[in-house]
Amino acid sequence: MSDPEPVKEEITKESTEATTGAVAETTDAPGTAAGGTEESPTEKAVAAPDPRAAQKRKNLFITIGVVVAIGAFIYLTIPVATNGDTVAVYYNESFENGTVYFSNMNSTTPLVFTIGNSSVITGVQDAVTGMRLGDTKTVDISSTDAYGQYDPGLVQTLNRTGPIANTTFTPGQYFTVYYRPINAYSTVKILNVTGKTITWDANNPLAGYNLTFTIKLAGITPANTTAVEPATTPT
């Protein structure tokens, strides 16, 4: 029998050569898709910035700045309502549930009054103060700054004498009363009528209600200048 050891050594030698060859094949430098070497990033050309694009951006910034400046100038020169000015407003007056009580928004006659010197309710005068001409705003006004709290003391029962002796009244109707001592008129609501007495409520119909007003400022006449005549609209 022949000795198997030389065969074993030969097989080991061939395995070593095969392994060495495989390693050698993997050490080649990577190639490009065309088979050449890949270009180094430092060898790539860098495009120069386009001066026309930079100028366009600069012009755009200048244009935006001019537009903003003009807009700010126009806004700051719009008249603002201040104390003593006479203003003309259109408005919606509604209850908290959204029911509109009065509106002159579609009227050609605005409500005209002088801020700080008017019978218009305080809440409306305060809301208009600081508004710019053409502004529209919505404000909630408490009963205190609107028509006041309901006063039970303004419910009166009177004897039917003098001017009201022969006047026909119906419960639920509104009646205008002239108070000679103070030279003023007041609207009262008739509550009850008998042959000898009449009971009415002198509270404003909106007394005790919180209200919502949407107000549009349509005109401003600065203080110490000739103002337009006040409009005859509800206050």
Question: Could you tell me the CA-to-CA distances from 214 to 91, 103, 211, 220 in Å, in that order?
Answer: 5, 9, 10, 18
- For residue 154, pLDDT over 80 is answered with yes
Over residues 40-53, the pLDDT tens digits come to 554 555 566 677 77
Give 183's pLDDT tier (boundaries 50, 70, 90): confident
Pair 212, 112 in one domain: yes
Q: Residue 97 domain-assigned?
A: yes
Pair 211, 141 in one domain: yes
* Number of structural domains the chain divides into: 2
Domain CATH code at residue 124 = 3.10.50.40
Pair 91, 194 in one domain: no
Pair 91, 172 in one domain: no
130 secondary structure, DSSP code:
T
Find the domain containing 161 and state its range: 152-201
Share of the chain above pLDDT 90, in %: 52
Pair 194, 104 in one domain: no
pTM of the model: 0.60
Q: Residue 185 domain-assigned?
A: yes
- In this predicted model, which residue has the larger pLDDT, 165 or 127? 127
Q: Burial, 168: exposed, middle or buried (Cβ in 10 Å; 0-12, 13-18, 19+)?
A: exposed
Contact 95, 134 (CB under 8 A): no
φ/ψ of residue 57, rounded to 5: -65, -40
Over residues 202-230, the pLDDT tens digits come to 999 999 999 999 999 999 999 877 654 44
